Amino acid sequence: MIAPAMPTMQPVSRKELLLAEANRRKARALAQTKSIKFAQYIDKWHGYHAAHMELIGEYVDKAIDGTLWDDIPGEGMRYLFICVPPSYGKSSFVSRKLPALAVPRLMELGKPHQVITASYNSTLAEANNRKVIELMETVEYQDLFPHIVPSRKEWSAEKWSLEGESFTTCKAAGIGAGLTGFHAYMAVVDDPIRDRAAATSPTSIENLWEWWNDVLLTRILPGGFVIGMWTRWTENDPMGKVLTNIKEGKSTDRVVVLRLPAMAETQAEREAAGQMGLPIDSADPLGREPGEPLWPHQHSAAELAEKRKAQPVTWHSLYQQVPRPRGGYLVGQKDFKLIPAMPKQGIKWVWGTDWAITEKELAPKKGDDPDYTAAALVGLRMVDGNALNARLVIAFMERGQLNQHDARQMVKRVITGTDKRYPVRAGQANIDKIHLAEMKKDASLMNFSIRNLRHREHRGDKMERAAPWFERAQAGLVDVVQGPWNEMFFREIEQFPHGAHDDMVDAVSVAVAALGMGAKVKKQSRML
């Protein structure tokens, strides 16, 4: 047998060698100043060349040199929030590569160069930081930054320092961990919320927000900034709260949001996201056409369409980086008919109430955001004597984060503010019984029918109690009287059952139960 001929190696010309060397020098120079070029130079993973990664790199570079916020007014904290689907490379880049570049880059710019990296627990935060120090020990890194010398005294996944410096350069921490004695110019918070269960836990969200304000932000040096990256499980995450505070005039923080949905949106979808408080662009940040995938190598358009069909709730939060589906998880404003005034004839009315006991200023364990006391005036209008087609009317709503005395005064004010004395009802919780017992003692309310619902009238959990009127809304059988309270009401029902508050939902559920409308309408429910 004759052996096959070996391929002949073509000689490399001097010109080609010079060109290759010039390209290497150029790549090396870019890697010393540009974050995504650094990642590409130090790690040959193809994902760093994806268009969305290049764009993230541009934003990060502007954050490091400080120009990202030049056109944004304000004197508060500077934030860059990056919203990208999971497994699209953001953590590999920002949490495991960026600190290794940010330190020498900030030094070059004459700025403090201490860094905090944080995640939902210390295990993940330290795993990310371990990747950083492993990278910094490579020959390739030392070639780029020979002046960055690891300290022999402090060099671990929890924290590390540089030779010749008396302070910790980078510290990894889990949410809730203390940072006493450490300060940073740049903080990277990656996945502070573990999963949807944590996102729907008021306690978890409150603890995160307390740690964010009381620990993390107090450790940021003047002029410093925070990069936040996570799945938008809830509107009540730190990004949502920061944006809400700015909108309500409570802070002068400067925020840039880079949101890159897995599937490019239509303009109507972008505007819907804007209605949830998200900053929106006039076009897709990458110039994609509607329906075009963010990273075809990871998910094709067909694969994304299948995920959208199979997991509608997860699709929006996990892949589109929108905290909830357009129009609400279960129902939304689109399901209700707005009417100009409260109908006067042919309607049975009742006040539904849901009680809380803690005023806002005395709620440290609730992140300064305790439950509300809510009162809802709800009516039932029969149509042709047929209960199946009866219409519910939600005429008025008021709520407040109040102490016990002020909560009763608020409810007293609203129930006596109408031209007739409508019944007042509440659920079976102990706090409901306490408040209604006190109201019955009030001589000025003697002409009111005031009582707690019986167990048989108000069974099940919050979802089961809301089901009758949510289903009627889905069937187009619920009217809402126009009023200044509409916006907060629709926001709450669209976030239900994953929102921070459900007090208005509960108040309406009490009223609907009192009206005897617990039976389901004959229409397949999208909720149950």
**Residue among 263, 196, 266, 204 at smallest CA distance from 231:** 196
**Residue among 167, 142, 163 at smallest CA distance from 151:** 163
Per-residue pLDDT of the chain (528 residues; tens, 9 = 90+): 566 665 566 677 877 777 777 888 898 999 999 999 999 999 999 999 999 999 999 999 999 999 999 999 999 999 999 999 999 999 999 999 999 999 999 999 999 999 999 999 999 999 999 999 999 999 999 999 999 999 999 999 999 999 999 999 999 999 999 999 999 999 999 999 988 778 878 788 889 999 999 999 999 999 999 999 988 888 889 999 999 899 889 999 999 999 999 999 998 888 877 766 777 777 899 999 999 999 999 999 999 999 888 776 678 888 988 876 666 667 888 889 999 999 988 899 999 999 987 655 444 444 456 889 999 999 998 876 666 678 999 999 999 999 999 999 999 999 999 989 999 999 989 999 999 999 999 999 999 999 999 988 888 888 889 988 988 888 889 999 999 999 999 989 988 877 778 999 999 999 999 998 864 433 433 333
Hey, what's the torsion of the CAs at 470, 473, 475, 477, to 10 degrees? 130
The predicted pLDDT at position 278 comes to 75
The predicted pLDDT at position 386 comes to 65
Q: Give per-residue pLDDT as tens, 164-208.
A: 999 999 999 999 999 999 999 999 999 999 887 788 787 888 899
> Looking at residue 293, what DSSP letter applies?
B
Q: How far, CA to CA in Å, does 418 sit from each of 58, 377, 398, 411?
A: 58, 10, 13, 12
CB 378 within 8 A of CB 349: yes
Q: Are strands 337-339 and 254-259 parallel, antiparallel or unpaired?
A: unpaired
CB 266 within 8 A of CB 233: no
The predicted pLDDT at position 229 comes to 94
Cα separation of 123 and 157, whole Å?
10
**374 phi/psi in degrees, rounded to 5:** -130, 145
CB 56 within 8 A of CB 38: no
Structure tokens at 476: 């187009």
- The residue type found at 109 is L
How are strands ordered across the β-sheet holding 424-426?
337-339, 478-481, 386-400, 373-383, 347-354, 424-426, 450-452
- DSSP H helical segments within 340-429, as ranges? 404-415
In DSSP terms, 159 is beta-bridged to 171
User: Would you call the peptide bond into 497 cis, given omega within 30 degrees of 0 as the criterion?
Assistant: yes
The predicted pLDDT at position 276 comes to 67
The predicted pLDDT at position 1 comes to 54
The predicted pLDDT at position 8 comes to 62
Structure tokens at 319: 């892949």
